[in-house]
């Protein structure tokens, strides 16, 4: 290839690189998109983007292990990438295993043999090192000085996108956390394990949605909207909400209004998440056969998100202890959902529950562990203690 052609090729590679990464604003997908593009441009077999975690004094990157993405971390100053991050200077090695700066840890994890490696610093707007770009195993020959220049350009181009995505991620996280904490406030008076119930039912909702073919984004939105389903309970008096026994018909009528209250609190929201939450709040007690409340909507008249949350919420309510009832076993809860297919629940959602049951149990166990109650819970689920068994299975007023 002539010099001129080569330049033109490079230019078009660079502009394609810019266009390709400009369309991603989620940090994780941005990083893997960048790595993939950089590999192509530099004819490398493998590429990593390491980012600095200032608080921990570490670099981290995502590595693909089969179907899974794992986070790999290493201390600043260690390995090739760690050196580059510390000094701000590029490193170009022909034979990594002969250089004491190279660390084999990542190779070992992904079962790989690094030969040549080129690593350049990633600098932010203020010129401070915020990460490292690393390309490994040039397809033919070794990485040249020209490659080094090219990688530096790519790294500069990518830096501002990474910075934006990081800010966006921050914002998103704080938005989600605020929503979640709002939900906690609402259920705080209701039951002692509010946080656990909310985490579990929203994980269940996400898993059911994924099983039913929602995209990852849609399923995640549902996950974060779901905890707000009972926010209207803040307006229900303690004498009803915390009543240890069964509600009178009048009390139950009052209780049912939590759906209307919830939708009023969330009405006309700007944010997409809150709009989904509003639909769920008003419709999560509707029943597939039209016998639910507040409006007696039937089948597809009930928003799909609410049909999903209804299954997730009732399933988790059944396996949980409440002021008015003991905890059911997983098996009993599953049978209950199955038995009420088409009456209470959308058959599609019930099918998803049966199909993903193992995943639901794993998610439940994860959340229980996170809340530090694993021992207690598994004891309850495997064999209900006598006193719980004897307690009312509850809600016979319906």
Residues forming the active site: 233
Give exposure, 337-360, as e/b (b: 16+ Cβ within 10 Å): beebbeebbbebbbebbeebeeeb
Distances (CA, A) of 216 to 166, 182, 212, 263, 344: 20, 24, 11, 25, 27
Sign of the CA dihedral 377, 232, 288, 242? positive
Stretch that binds ligand C2E, among 124-132, 148-156, 269-277, 310-318 (CB under 6 A): 310-318
In the complex with ligand C2E, the residue whose CB is nearer, 195 or 247, is 247
Q: Which is nearer to ligand C2E, 84 or 302 (CB)?
A: 302
- Closer residue to ligand C2E in complex, CB, 90/194: 194
Selected from 276, 314, 353, 363, the binder of ligand C2E by CB under 6 A is 314
Residue facing Fe ion at closest CB distance: 230
* Identity of the residue, 96 or 306, whose beta carbon is nearer to ligand C2E in the bound complex: 306
Which tokens in the block code for residue 70? 């794992």
**Binding pattern to ligand C2E, positions 262-301, x when CB under 6 A?**
-----------------------x----------------
Applying CB under 6 A, which of residues 243, 298, 388, 391 lies at the interface with ligand C2E? 243
Angle 213-216-221 from CA coordinates, rounded to 5°: 105
Interaction between residue 394 and ligand C2E (CB under 6 A) = yes
Q: Which residues bind ligand SIN (CB under 6 A)?
A: 48, 79-81, 102-103, 106-107, 114, 134, 136, 191, 193, 196-197, 320-321, 327, 376-377, 380
Q: Considering beta carbons, is residue 149 or 385 the nearer one to ligand SIN?
A: 385
Nearer to ligand SIN, 330 or 351 (CB): 330
Token pair in block for residue 57: 């004094």
Instruction: Assess 329 for contact with ligand C2E (CB under 6 A).
Output: no
Question: Which of the stretches 8-16, 152-160, 317-325, 349-357 binds ligand C2E when contact is defined by CB under 6 A?
Answer: 317-325
Q: Which does 317 bind (CB under 5 to 8 A by kind): Fe ion, ligand C2E, ligand SIN, none?
A: ligand C2E
Residues 6+ apart with CB under 8 A from 398: none
Q: C-beta of 259: minimal distance to Fe ion in Å? A: 7
Q: Count Cβ atoms below 10 Å from residue 71 Cβ, excluding itself.
A: 9
* In the complex, least distance from residue 139 CB atom to ligand C2E, rounded to whole angstroms: 58
Q: Does 13 bind ligand C2E (CB under 6 A)?
A: no
- In angstroms, what is the minimal distance from the CB of 124 to Fe ion? 46
What is the spatial order of strands in the sheet that 117-123 belongs to?
A: 68-75, 58-65, 44-53, 129-138, 117-123, 91-93
Can you spell out the DSSP letters for 3-53?
HHHHHHHHHHHHHHHHHHHHT--SHHHHHHHHHHHHHHHHTEEEEEEEEEE
3-class DSSP string for 230-292: HHHHHHCCHHHHCCCCCCCHHHHHHHHCHHHHHHHHHCCCCCHHHHHHHHHHHHCCCCCCCCC
CB 263 within 8 A of CB 229: no
How far apart are alpha carbons 196 and 117 in whole angstroms? 46
CB of 196 to ligand SIN, least distance (A): 4
Residue 398 to residues 28, 252, 253, 333, Cα–Cα distance (Å): 47, 10, 12, 17
Among 324, 351, 366, 388, binds ligand C2E (CB under 6 A): 324
* Under rule CB under 6 A, residue 260 binds ligand C2E: no
Q: How far is the CB of 332 from ligand SIN (least distance, A)?
A: 12
- Do residues 157 and 17 lie in contact, with contact meaning Cβ atoms separated by under 8 Å? yes
Given Fe ion, ligand C2E, ligand SIN, none, residue 243, with its beta carbon under 5 to 8 Å by kind, binds ligand C2E
- Which of 134, 123, 124, 8 lies closest to 63 in space, CA to CA? 134
Using the minimum distance from each CB to Fe ion, give the nearer residue, 230 or 286.
Answer: 230
**Could you tell me if 118 and 145 are in contact, meaning their C-beta atoms sit under 8 angstroms apart?**
no
Q: What radius of gyration do the chain's Cα atoms show?
A: 27
Q: Point out which span in 164-172, 216-224, 243-251, 359-367 binds ligand C2E (CB under 6 A).
A: 243-251
Binding ligand C2E by CB under 6 A: which of 325, 350, 377, 380? 325
Least distance (Å) from ligand C2E to the CB of residue 286?
A: 10
Query: Which residues contact ligand C2E (rule: CB under 6 A)?
Result: 243, 246-247, 255, 285, 313-314, 317-318, 322-325, 393-395
């Amino acid at each position: 290839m002539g010099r001129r052609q080569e330049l033109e090729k490079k230019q078009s590679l660079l502009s394609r690189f810019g266009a390709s990464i400009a369309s991603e604003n989620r940090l994780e997908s941005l990083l893997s998109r960048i790595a993939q593009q950089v590999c192509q441009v530099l004819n490398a077999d493998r590429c990593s983007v390491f980012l600095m975690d200032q608080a921990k004094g570490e670099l981290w990157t995502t590595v693909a292990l089969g179907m899974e993405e794992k986070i790999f971390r290493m201390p600043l100053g260690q390995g090739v990438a760690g050196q580059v991050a510390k000094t701000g200077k590029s490193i170009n090695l022909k034979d990594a295993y002969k250089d004491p700066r190279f660390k084999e840890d990542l190779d070992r994890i992904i079962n790989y043999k690094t030969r040549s490696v080129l690593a350049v610093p990633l600098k932010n707007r203020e010129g401070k090192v915020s990460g490292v770009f690393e390309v490994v195993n040039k397809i033919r020959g070794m990485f040249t000085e020209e490659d080094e220049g090219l990688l530096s350009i790519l790294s500069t181009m990518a830096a501002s996108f990474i910075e934006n995505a990081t800010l966006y991620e921050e914002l998103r996280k704080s938005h989600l956390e605020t929503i979640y904490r709002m939900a906690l406030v609402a259920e705080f008076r209701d039951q002692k394990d509010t946080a656990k119930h909310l985490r579990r039912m929203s994980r269940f909702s996400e898993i059911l949605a994924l099983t039913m073919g929602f995209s990852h984004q849609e399923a995640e939105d549902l996950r974060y909207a779901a905890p707000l389903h009972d926010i209207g309970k803040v307006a229900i008096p303690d004498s009803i909400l915390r009543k240890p026994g069964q509600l009178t018909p009048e009390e139950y009528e009052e209780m049912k209004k939590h759906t209307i209250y919830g939708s009023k609190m969330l009405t006309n929201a700007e944010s997409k998440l809150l709009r989904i939450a509003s639909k769920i709040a008003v419709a999560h007690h509707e029943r597939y056969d039209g016998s639910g409340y507040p409006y007696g909507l039937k089948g597809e008249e009930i928003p799909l998100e609410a049909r999903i949350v209804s299954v997730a919420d009732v399933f988790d309510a059944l396996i949980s202890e409440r002021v008015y009832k003991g905890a059911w076993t997983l098996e009993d809860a599953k049978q209950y959902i199955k038995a009420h297919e088409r009456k209470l629940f959308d058959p599609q959602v019930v099918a998803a529950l049966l199909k993903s049951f193992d995943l639901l149990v794993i998610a439940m166990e994860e959340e229980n562990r996170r809340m530090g109650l694993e021992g207690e819970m598994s004891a309850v689920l495997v064999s209900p203690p006598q006193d719980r068994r004897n307690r009312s299975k509850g809600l016979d007023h319906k």
